[in-house]
Amino acid sequence: MSSIDIYNLKVTACHGVLLEEKINRQPFYFDVSMKYDFTAAAKDDDLNLTLNYDEIMHSISDFCKDNTFNLIETLCHRTATMLMRKYPIDSVSITVKKPQAPVSLPFDNVSVTTNLTRTTALLSLGSNMGDRQAYLDNAIKRLQANQDINVQNVSAPFENPPYGGVAQLPFINMAVKLSTYLSPYELLEYIHLIESEAQRDRSVHWGDRTLDMDIIFYGDCVIDSEALTIPHPDYINRDFVLKPLKEIAPDFVCPLIKKRIRDL
């Protein structure tokens, strides 16, 4: 994948914790690297087929000037998010340098860097209470409404018996394929928000529920923490997870067992 890079873009703005930093403008310098396939533009020598770096630099400058943050970490991350939302780039790496930071020692600058990359995630959805399909459809709409998420494919609904020996009512299960630059934990937080809006009751483990949303895969990421496990544990033995996934992402390869979903 090719990239378009910008170095030392100077923007004079007000960012900092101290009062004088919020009032008096000072220089900030941006280094930006964007992954973007400009093969077609290079072949046809056509500006319309590539990124307009003049426009991008003005977008960065305007964003930096129009906002005021205490931390350059916030400035850096939110500038990266702005670019991902506004332009069809696959990933972005931004470094923000602050040469006039209020430090009492000699230095060239302080800087922070953030990286955002569009990643494919596969979700499993289920409901066995109330209007099951309505809960699932609304969850998908909530995913589509998030500007940091691009829903790419949705499976057909599948009716399944309850799983785990606790739930009593039959489920409808679906799968969703999406692209996002949210981190796995940010995606999990948003999923929990959607579940809460559906009055999800977590008091009984594996009990009946209005809405259950799980991250099965997040790219080739492997996570084993108290809050999140990816790939989702025991997915390989759950037909109600695999059947919808096979419909929408048959060639996705599990990062642990190195097999395509279609072959599981």
Q: 121-141, pLDDT tens digit by residue?
A: 999 999 999 999 999 999 999
Other beta carbons within 10 angstroms of residue 51's beta carbon come to 17
- On average, the pLDDT of the chain sits at 93
Question: What is the maximum span of the chain, computed from C-alpha positions, in angstroms?
Answer: 68
Instruction: Map residue 92 onto helix, strand or coil.
Output: strand
pLDDT score of 149 more than 90? yes
Spatial distance between the Cα atoms of 83 and 6, rounded to a whole number of angstroms? 13
Listed residues 89, 116, 143: the one ending a domain = 116
| Sign (positive or negative) of CA dihedral 189, 80, 219, 143 | positive
Q: For the residues 35-47, what does the mean pLDDT come to? A: 90
Q: What is the CATH number of the domain that holds 48?
A: 3.30.1130.10
How far apart are the two ends of the chain, measured CA to CA in Å? 31
Q: Band of the pLDDT at 209, cuts 50, 70, 90?
A: confident
- Which residues span the domain enclosing 207? 119-263
- Give the count of domains, the chain: 2
Could you say which of 68, 84, 116 is where a domain stops? 116
Domain boundary among 59, 87, 116: 116
Instruction: Pick the closest to residue 102 from 18, 22, 23 (CA basis).
Output: 18
Which positions are catalytic? Answer: 98
Proportion of the chain above pLDDT 90, given as a percent: 83
Question: pTM for this one?
Answer: 0.90
User: Do 109 and 10 share a structural domain?
Assistant: yes
- Please count the other Cβ atoms lying within 10 Å of the Cβ belonging to residue 72: 20
The token pair that represents 9 in the structure block:
């873009």
